[in-house]
Homo-oligomer: A and B are copies of this chain.
Amino acid sequence: MPSTVEGDPLAGWRLAQAPFYRPVAGEVRAFEAAAAARLPVLLTGPTGCGKTRFVEHMAWRLGRPLVTLACHEDLTAGDLAGRWLLDADGTRWQDGPLALAARHGAICYLDELVEARSDALVVIHPLADSRRVLPLERRGELLQAHPDFLLVASYNPGYRGLHKALKPSTRQRFTTLAFGYPDPDTETAIVAGESGVDPLLAGRLVALGLRTRRLQADGLEEGASTRLLVHAARLVQAGLPARAACLQAVAAPLADDPDLQAVLADLVHAAFE
């Protein structure tokens, strides 16, 4: 059975070291204001642009534990709030991650919130408005959130053909920060910093990434994220030639369609002749 340090039940969720993060605009100040005002924060933007890293950075900066949950269609309200476990002595209540974070003052980060089921979405409503409570119906407890508790969620509104959207009653409970890709200089610094390659190679990878993002007008679902460029750089550090690394880490993951694949391979070949 899980054992937790009695003095700090969230010890396992405290970041052991400072995550690498380069602030882009006023997002740190905006997040700090929301935390001070105890208002939930929604981060919007494309895959791999650094939303998760930013939350880790802010958790480190504010000195709070971070409980992260990837949302999906089968995540139930019970998974979030908690449940009764059967024990040798009967049943025993186990706080779910949301209850744990609310009770002990952590940041609770719900990744890809729109993927959650409706019951998981409404369970956060009373936590996300001025009441700041989590009704644990099955336990018969109305949990009042810790003053340091902060609700953060992410949401990618850009998928083409996505039919799911957040309802206004959920959306309007969050203050919202929009993320995009970093500017080229910042992105080059990130790629170099996360992989250890030299800035020159990092800059060429970033230039390649920019070219793939322009293909979105030609039918590509999403361009290369910063993450993909870091992947390519790390493969180079592991000994692969840059061209092979980019095909494996950038071109192949972006599309299945043979025509788009050919265009992407051409971009890679042009970038690393």
Residues of A that sit less than 8 Å from B by CB:
1-2, 4, 12-13, 26, 29-30, 32-34, 36-37, 39, 42, 44, 47-48, 52, 68-77, 79, 84-91, 93-94, 96-97, 100, 111-112, 115, 117-119, 121-123, 125-126, 129-131, 135, 137-142, 156-157, 159, 165, 167-169, 171-178, 194, 221-222, 224-225, 227-228, 230-231, 234-235, 237-240, 244-245, 248-249, 252-254, 256
A157-B256, A256-B44 known; A238-B122 Cβ under 8 A: no
A189 to chain B, nearest CB (A): 16
Q: Are B90 and A174 in contact (CB under 8 A)?
A: no
User: How many copies altogether?
Assistant: 6
Instruction: State A2–B130 Cα separation when bound (angstroms).
Output: 25
Q: Are B30 and A244 in contact (CB under 8 A)?
A: yes
Contacts of A126 in B (CB 8 A): 68, 70
Contacts of A30 in B (CB 8 A): 240, 244, 248
Instruction: State A231–B177 Cα separation when bound (angstroms).
Output: 14
Name, among A75, A94, A168, A245, the residue most crowded by chain B CB atoms within 10 Å (CB to CB).
Answer: A168
Q: Are B97 and A169 in contact (CB under 8 A)?
A: no
Instruction: State A94–B84 Cα separation when bound (angstroms).
Output: 12
Instruction: State A47–B175 Cα separation when bound (angstroms).
Output: 15
A214 to chain B, nearest CB (A): 16
Of B2, B115, B168, B178, which is within 8 A of A141 by CB? B2
Contacts of A254 in B (CB 8 A): 171-172
Of B32, B48, B91, which is within 8 A of A1 by CB? B91
Instruction: State A137–B99 Cα separation when bound (angstroms).
Output: 12
Q: Are B68 and A248 in contact (CB under 8 A)?
A: no
A112 to chain B, nearest CB (A): 7
Q: Are A91 and B84 in contact (CB under 8 A)?
A: no
A204 to chain B, nearest CB (A): 18
Instruction: State A88–B84 Cα separation when bound (angstroms).
Output: 13
Of B47, B123, B238, which is within 8 A of A70 by CB? B123
